[in-house]
Amino acid sequence: MLKVKPPDGYPPEQGRYMRGNDYSPVAVCVILDTFDFAIPPELNALVMAGVDSGAALSGLLQTENMGLEKMVCNIVANPNIRYVVLCGRESPGHLPGESLVALKENGVTDTKQIIGTGAPTPYLHNIPMELIERFRNQIAGIVNLLCQPGEKDTGLAGLDPKVVEKAVWSCYQEEPVLFMGYELYDIGAYPESAICHKIASKLSQPQQDILQPGKSRLAMGLALLKFLPKTNCRECGRRTCLAFAIELAQGKCRLEECPILEQPEFATDKQALTKLLEQ
């Protein structure tokens, strides 16, 4: 069976995930349905179950845009990953779980909007179309165990670490096994080279024109918006990330007013914003 050594630089994107067995055919995606700094223990237990039972990567997905983009980058950088086990409970504001499933099933429009999801901002603007299509082809299936928003019952499949372990185990069997209606086994690595794409690489592009006098406030705000979490969670006191971005461009507020940027998965974006604002 074909297995490949992931390239240097894998996984290219930082985030709240753990790296396990590089040769495993499965990644575990736990939906994070809170913007608090503390990760709920039941979700943490699912991440640990994923990595302990042999997943290549096991981590949290919070947003339907940037979070999903990072996940796509990390998966296409390891052709051994052929399945995603989706678990936890849906995040009602952002629908990242629904967006992941819709991405696999329907793909994106010409403007990189994920087709067939009700998520508020399901845009994958920061990654090339090639990566999106590669992700859709490389992932043979999503084992969808996701629970309803607000669900607390850890006896349900999507919140039960033992079920997640069994799902991961099923994905790396040599012969097909039936798991909750899915036929799973290790089908071997995707037969094309890894693509190691780092979203932060866009930082190396000259950005000098972005904050020059003469540019409209909206243009400046849009440039900054690229690096904001785009969750529209209102924790900064503004109704949208765009409103926050425009005020940032006008010097009317400070980056520190967005608490979401303090989370580890946004460290690179915060760095980029700091750099832009210094220009």
Binding site for ligand SF4 (CB under 6 A): 228-229, 231-236, 238, 241, 244, 258, 260
Q: At its nearest, how many Å lie between ligand SF4 and the CB of residue 231?
A: 4
> Cα separation of 143 and 152, whole Å?
20
| Identity of the residue, 62 or 80, whose beta carbon is nearer to ligand SF4 in the bound complex | 62
Measured between alpha carbons, how far apart are the two ends of the chain, in Å? 51
| Identity of the residue, 196 or 243, whose beta carbon is nearer to ligand SF4 in the bound complex | 243
| Identity of the residue, 38 or 178, whose beta carbon is nearer to ligand SF4 in the bound complex | 38
Q: Which two tokens stand for residue 110?
A: 């010409």
Query: Contact at 8 Å (CB) between 70 and 13?
Result: yes
Q: At its nearest, how many Å lie between ligand SF4 and the CB of residue 11?
A: 24
| Identity of the residue, 200 or 233, whose beta carbon is nearer to ligand SF4 in the bound complex | 233
- The conformational region for residue 73 under phi > 0 = left, psi -120 to 50 = alpha, else beta, is alpha
Spell 135-174 as b/e; 16+ CB within 10 A means b.
beebbebbbbbbbeeebeeeebbbbbbebbbbbbebbbee
> Cα separation of 43 and 46, whole Å?
5
Q: At its nearest, how many Å lie between ligand SF4 and the CB of residue 95?
A: 16
Q: At its nearest, how many Å lie between ligand SF4 and the CB of residue 236?
A: 3
| Identity of the residue, 103 or 253, whose beta carbon is nearer to ligand SF4 in the bound complex | 253
Residue matched to tokens 């086994």: 185
| Four-CA torsion 240, 246, 251, 254, nearest 10 degrees | 30
| Identity of the residue, 202 or 234, whose beta carbon is nearer to ligand SF4 in the bound complex | 234
Q: At its nearest, how many Å lie between ligand SF4 and the CB of residue 89?
A: 21
| Identity of the residue, 24 or 232, whose beta carbon is nearer to ligand SF4 in the bound complex | 232
Neighbours of 197 (CB within 10 A): 21
Q: At its nearest, how many Å lie between ligand SF4 and the CB of residue 132?
A: 23
> Cα separation of 174 and 184, whole Å?
9
- DSSP state at residue 132: H
Q: At its nearest, how many Å lie between ligand SF4 and the CB of residue 257?
A: 7
